[in-house]
Amino acid sequence: MVIAGNRNLGLVMAKSNEPIFWSLFSAGGMVAALFLPILMVITGFLVPNELAPQYTLSYDQVNSAVSGSNIVKLVLFAVIALPFFHWAHRFKFTLVDIGLRKISLLLGVLCYGGAISATLITAIILWRI
Amino acid sequence: MSYIRKVPNTWWLQRKPYFLFIVRELTSVAVAGYCGFLLYLMYALSKGRPAYSAATDLLTHPASYTLHTIGLLLVLYHTITWFNVTPKVLVFHLGEEKVPAVVIAGAHYAGWLATSALVAWLLLGTGTSV
């Protein structure tokens, strides 16, 4: 948002949500970089090609691991929810950069709103397992 | 009045570094898409055994291979570009000396290897045969 004059800058920065969203963007980028490649190799290639043991991703293995441990739920919550904030930040600014600057505010609401919704849904689903 | 030069919306197609920048930003779509899949898997798990089995059966569908292949390439591009900029974001000092970029990036690659090994061991190596 464009602010007329520098004298408002201090106030605007103090009120801005940007540091929170930037931290979530950054944490999500790190979690995605560390965890997603190996998970994709396992779900996309090892399991369907039967290169993994029978129990891998089986209902019994996953259900007992997730339902029996709040630590596992917390890790899954971080791995699933944080990357949505990473996406929200990058996707919003990509659309702005390729010409949708005029609806930047709307894009921010949709992208970050999407990430917040996904986070809530993740929490509710994991809570119920 | 200041003069603002109009940039065409196709600026990112005009140079390779610009194009790679947009590709890097759009890797986030693959990241979110895969997390959406993991979320769906957890939803199916919460619904019980038949729903969960139906969800994992999707992994043998040809579309799953295609999506996983494209997704994995994009996510690997994300991982590599992410770790390569870490020395610019995280600046550490040991006494007067700045910790070299290669050490900071290297530590992240080592962490990636360790995380991948741990996840692989948890999912592939700690089950009980049925």
CATH of the domain at B24: 1.20.1300.10
* Residue B98 within any structural domain of the chain: yes
SS3 B23: helix
Find the mean pLDDT for residues B69-93: 94
Q: Which residues pair with B97 in a beta bridge?
A: B94
Unique residue bearing structure tokens 């996309």: A44
Report the CATH number that the domain containing residue A28 is assigned in CATH: 1.20.1300.10
* Residue A78 within any structural domain of the chain: yes
When divided into structural domains, chain B yields a total of 1
Domain that holds residue B82: 11-125
Does A64 lie at the interface with B, CB-CB under 8 angstroms? no
Dihedrals phi, psi of B94, to nearest 5 degrees: -115, 100
* Residue A42 within any structural domain of the chain: yes
Cα–Cα–Cα angle for B68, A107, A77, nearest 5°? 50
Least confident among A115-119, B77-81, B90-94, B109-113:
B90-94
* Residue B30 within any structural domain of the chain: yes
* Residue A33 within any structural domain of the chain: yes
Q: Decide if pLDDT at B14 tops 80.
A: yes
A118 or B98, greater pLDDT: A118
Q: Which residues in A lie closer than 8 A to residue B29 (C-beta atoms)?
A: 87, 91
| B 19-58: CB under 8 A from A | 22, 25-29, 31-32, 34-39, 42-43, 45-46, 49, 52-53, 56
* Residue B4 within any structural domain of the chain: no
How far does the CA of residue A66 sit from the closest CA of chain B (Å)?
Answer: 9
* Residue B62 within any structural domain of the chain: yes
Report the residue of chain A nearest B38, measured CA to CA.
A80
Q: Is the ipTM of this complex over 0.95?
A: no
When divided into structural domains, chain A yields a total of 1
* Residue B17 within any structural domain of the chain: yes
Report pTM: 0.88
* Residue A63 within any structural domain of the chain: yes
Q: Which residues in A lie closer than 8 A to residue B84 (C-beta atoms)?
A: none
User: What is the C-alpha to C-alpha distance for residues B78 and B73, in angstroms, rounded to an integer?
Assistant: 9
